[in-house]
Chain A
Amino acid sequence: MIIFELVAALAIMAGAGFFIAGTVGLVRFPDTFCRLHALTKADGLGLALICLGAALLAGSAGEIARLVLIWLLVALSAATCAHLVARHARADGQAHREDTSQRETRR
């Protein structure tokens, strides 16, 4: 039992770490497209780890099934959302070069 709790705590902390990494990427990366990389990938793994930790602490099979369902639906939608945002940004003519040059002048 104590091992379960330890592993769960580690997984949840690692998941939170990935969420922080995703947010740092969101703030630091130069343009919309790079920011999407940080959001889809880092946050996706962060959620998976938090769901894993919560599932280890869950009391019933129903709770585990709900956690798996949450993870599955978010994972399915994340890639599609990123694709749609990227497509819109491209259609908007949001060239990444403009953004990077802005960033460099700011520094």
Chain B
Amino acid sequence: MNAINRNGHDHARDDTAQLPVRARARNLYAYASPNPGNGPAQTPPILPVLARSPRERALRRCLRRLLWAVPVTAGLWLVLTGGGPDSLAFGIPAIALAGALAFATTPATRWRIAPVAAFRFAGWFALQSVLGATDVARRAFRLHLALAPGFCRFPTRLPQGAPRIFFANAISLLPGTLSAEIEGASVIVHSLDLRRNTHAELAALEWRVAALFALAPGTQDSVSHTGGAP
């Protein structure tokens, strides 16, 4: 399954490489602009008559963030305390404070997650992190350390913000790679074994992260919306 996806990825890359640069940019980054062109991320306004000002859009974004933050923090509090009535004396102010914080800090860019791709990613990622851990454990117990460590630079096409940070964090749990720095649009990756084909593995991960955030051109999941969770 892995090999098929990797091939599919390569194929998709070749396709986009033949497009003119502008078309390629629109394909990948249509969701990122505040007014997407023909991208799949565009949602038709409910009331087309009332055009939203940027200020109103920002306010709506804050409200959406608030609607997401309060149930999550309330859920966390209930899990941690067991939901006793006396714990709510501290819990309700704490939840209100968390909501206010979420209201005060607006995300730099909106992003969303494709649910089907998220499940696919979670399964693949769980397997990869087990492989990563067994790989490093085996190396630690080897009599002679079979290491060829070093750094390599991976230029990513993922946009700034959540997708790129998620990508950098996921790198650290894959077998043999660790993200050491994000420099502009490239991630500096430390590899335990430079003899491996690190670049191809990172490209496969990049493609999966793009699908997870509904960025890859032509993925079926990009149709479904989760309403821009922050």
Could you tell me the distance between the alpha carbons of A79 and B174 in the complex, rounded to whole angstroms?
Answer: 11
CB distance from A103 to the nearest CB of B (A): 9
Any A CB within 8 A of the CB of B76: yes
Could you tell me the distance between the alpha carbons of A44 and B174 in the complex, rounded to whole angstroms?
Answer: 12
CB distance from A39 to the nearest CB of B (A): 9
Scan A59-88; emit 1 where CB is below 8 A from any B CB, else 0: 000100110010000001011101100110
With A21-B136, A83-B179 known as contacts, the answer to whether A29 contacts B129 (CB < 8 A) is no
Do A31 and B149 touch (CB < 8 A)?
yes
Do A96 and B136 touch (CB < 8 A)?
no
- Which residues of A sit under 8 angstroms from B178, Cβ to Cβ? 33, 36-37, 40, 82-83, 86
Any A CB within 8 A of the CB of B137: yes
Could you tell me the distance between the alpha carbons of A46 and B129 in the complex, rounded to whole angstroms?
Answer: 11
CB-CB nearest in chain A for B137: A21
CB-CB nearest in chain A for B138: A21
> Which of B82, B134, B136 lies at the interface centre, i.e. has the most chain A CB atoms within 10 A of its CB?
B136
Could you tell me the distance between the alpha carbons of A100 and B141 in the complex, rounded to whole angstroms?
Answer: 18
Any B CB within 8 A of the CB of A11: no
With A37-B176, A42-B140, A86-B180 known as contacts, the answer to whether A28 contacts B145 (CB < 8 A) is yes
Could you tell me the distance between the alpha carbons of A25 and B134 in the complex, rounded to whole angstroms?
Answer: 12
Any B CB within 8 A of the CB of A53: no
CB-contact partner of A69 in B80, B134, B137, B192, under 8 A: B80
CB-contact partner of B137 in A22, A31, A79, under 8 A: A22
CB-CB nearest in chain A for B135: A41
Do B137 and A18 touch (CB < 8 A)?
yes
Do A40 and B140 touch (CB < 8 A)?
no
CB-CB nearest in chain A for B176: A37
CB-CB nearest in chain B for A83: B179
Could you tell me the distance between the alpha carbons of A67 and B77 in the complex, rounded to whole angstroms?
Answer: 14
- Which residues of B sit under 8 angstroms from A29, Cβ to Cβ? 140, 145, 147
- Which residues of B sit under 8 angstroms from A34, Cβ to Cβ? 147, 149, 190, 192
CB-defined A-B contacts under 8 Å, sample of 30: A17-B137, A18-B133, A21-B141, A24-B141, A25-B139, A25-B140, A29-B145, A29-B147, A30-B145, A30-B149, A33-B178, A36-B190, A37-B178, A37-B192, A38-B140, A40-B178, A41-B132, A41-B136, A45-B132, A46-B133, A66-B79, A79-B169, A80-B169, A82-B172, A83-B169, A83-B178, A83-B181, A87-B180, A90-B181, A100-B149
Given A37-B176, A41-B136, 15 more pairs with CB closer than 8 A: A17-B137, A30-B147, A30-B149, A34-B149, A34-B192, A37-B136, A40-B178, A41-B129, A41-B135, A41-B173, A45-B134, A69-B80, A79-B173, A86-B180, A90-B181
